[in-house]
Amino acid sequence: MTQTLPIQIAEAIANFRYEGRLVRGNAYGSGHINDTYLLIFEIAGMGNIKIILQRMNKDIFNQPVELMENIMGVTAHLRNKIIENHGDPERETLNVISALDGKPYYRDSRGDYWRSYRFITDATSYDQVEKPEHFYQSAVAFGNFQCLLADYPAETLHETIKGFHDTRARFAVFKKAVEEDVMGRAASVQKEIQFVLDHEDVANCFAELQDKGELPLRVTHNDTKLNNIMIDNETGKAICVIDLDTVMPGLAMNDFGDSIRFGASTAAEDEQDLDKVSCSMELFDLYAKGFIEGCAGRLTQKEIELMPMGAKVMTFECGMRFLTDYLQGDTYFKIHREGHNLDRCRTQFKLVEDMEQKWDTMQEIVKKYSNC
């Protein structure tokens, strides 16, 4: 080994089924939740191989064993489907490396949980939409994720974060935060508070449909940002959905909607000049086309019709969460300036307003592709 690694990392490395001689290990990626390292091993006569090692954030994911049970079940299902479709399971889904005891994780002497994956070579994940084609490719990939997992029993998955996209429940939490007003901030944000209260129907929409049994429970990714897609360097095609920590039972429209919220906005999530904030109909069109194509007929007509509502619900929910955190003293989302969460909240509410003005267009776009 050509370098000295911290004792905790070295302990984790020693307890996975790796082959060869470790020649390098460095921090890797831009994720904010788990600690990720890229390891390079040299195998005599065969060159180097790359491995991903991650320490799971047990503050966010307090049931890491259940989380890994989700990942093992879903990736095994995906692997079988990819093989059936004559794809490459080594590159088109995550491949977990077992610990020495055969488990898909290692619990170290400090009580931290580690897991390891084979590195997906000759592919890149992008933090921002550099080309519209990348956004389209991510839509196809997340749609295909829905397609391949359409027959997976979603109800058997653990909730890795309880009530993550229960917008109705988050609305109740918001109202409680307003009532308690622990930071004395409510008086200065009455406009934003009223915006949330005026949109209670949006908060309740999907929950009420679920109560009536009108929406199927799906295996959902729940973090459908562009950087959770690997794009092949040579072909430019999306090949693999990564970061499966939040895979759990959910609604297909929420996965679609969260992508639109983040990827089709014309401004940064914390942009202070709200005149710059709008929902691009060109990018909405591109993503709707790709997502519906990727789903390959596995969604119901109702789910497809509700895709614009998915964009609205997810954007509203996120804005409401930012505002709730601001009222509670910025305890959940990291902030880098005074009022940061308030700025974030305002961009989301501006996006919701813009979607409402473009509602007919959004519905027409989805309708255009719904019969493809």
Q: What digits encode the pLDDT tens for the residues 265-284? A: 999 999 999 999 999 999 99
3-state helix, strand, coil in the chain (%, to 5): 50, 15, 35
Residues sharing a CB contact under 8 Å with residue 39, sequence separation 6 or more, in sequence order: 13, 18, 22, 24, 25, 50, 51, 52, 53
CA distance 10 to 19: 15
What pLDDT is attached to residue 5? 74
Among 361, 327, 30, 23, smallest CA distance to 179 is for 327
pLDDT tens, the chain, 372 aa long: 445 678 999 999 999 999 999 999 999 887 768 999 999 999 987 889 999 999 999 888 999 999 999 999 999 999 999 999 999 999 999 999 999 999 999 999 999 999 999 999 999 999 888 889 999 999 999 999 999 999 999 999 999 988 889 999 999 999 999 999 999 999 999 999 999 999 999 999 999 999 999 999 999 999 999 999 999 999 999 999 999 999 999 999 999 999 999 999 999 999 999 999 999 999 999 999 999 999 999 999 999 999 999 999 999 999 999 999 999 999 988 899 999 999 999 999 999 999 999 999 999 999 999 875
132-370: CATH homologous superfamily? Aminoglycoside phosphotransferase (APH), C-terminal lobe (3.90.1200.10)
What pLDDT is attached to residue 187? 98
CA distance 261 to 85: 32
DSSP letter for 328, please: H
* Number of neighbouring beta carbons within 10 Å of residue 361: 15
